[in-house]
Structure 1
Amino acid sequence: MPIYAFACTDCGHAFDRLQKIADADPTQCPQCARQTVKRQVTAPSFRLAGGGWYETDFGANKKNLVEKPAAPAAGSSD
C-alpha cells in the first residue's frame, strides 16, 4: 500500500497516511478538525538502477545508470 502525504490548508498541519489506492482521501484535519485537507504531490522514495534500467527509454542518447564515466588516462595533460 502506498503512503500519501496530506496537509490542512487552514492550520498547515501535515501528515502521512498509509492507504489503498481505492480508499477515499481524508477530508477532516486531525489537528483542527476542519474539512480542508488536500493531498500533497511528493516524489517517489526509490530509484530504479542496475543493468537494463536507463534514465530514459526514449531518444538516441540512452545512458545506462550503472556505467561510470571513463577515468582520464594516466600521464595525459589536459
Structure 2
Amino acid sequence: MPIYEYRCSSCGTQKDVMQKLSDAPLTKCPECGKETFAKQLSAAGFQLKGNGYYATDFKNKPGSCEASPCASCPSAGAHS
C-alpha cells in the first residue's frame, strides 16, 4: 500500500497515511477537525541499487554514445 503525505491548510498539521489506491482521499484534519486536509505532491520513496536496471540500462558509459553514433540512440548520437 502506498503512503500519502497530507497537510492541513488551516492548522498546518502534516501526517503520512498508508492507504489503498482505491481508498477515498482524506479531507478532515485529525487535529483541528476542519475539512482542509489534502494530499501533498511528494517524491517517490524508493531507490534503485545494486546490479539492477540503473546500473545496466540507464547509466551512460564514458565515451559510449558521445564519441560515435550508435544504433540504440534515438537521435543517432546527437545527445543534449
* TM-score bucket of the superposed structures, by smaller chain: 0.5 to 0.7
Quote how far apart the aligned CAs of 1:17 are.
0.9
Quote how far apart the aligned CAs of 1:24 are.
0.4
TM-score by length of 1: 0.65
Count of residues in correspondence between the two structures = 60
TM-score by length of 2: 0.64
Q: Does 1:15 align with 2:15?
A: yes
% identity of equivalent residues: 45
Unaligned runs of 5+ in 2: 62-80
Q: Which residue number corresponds to residue 48 of structure 1? A: 48
RMSD over aligned CA atoms reads 2.2
Q: Which residue number corresponds to residue 31 of structure 2? A: 31
Q: Hey, what's the Cα distance between the residues in 2 that align with 1:26 and 1:50?
A: 37
Unaligned runs of 5+ in 1: 68-78
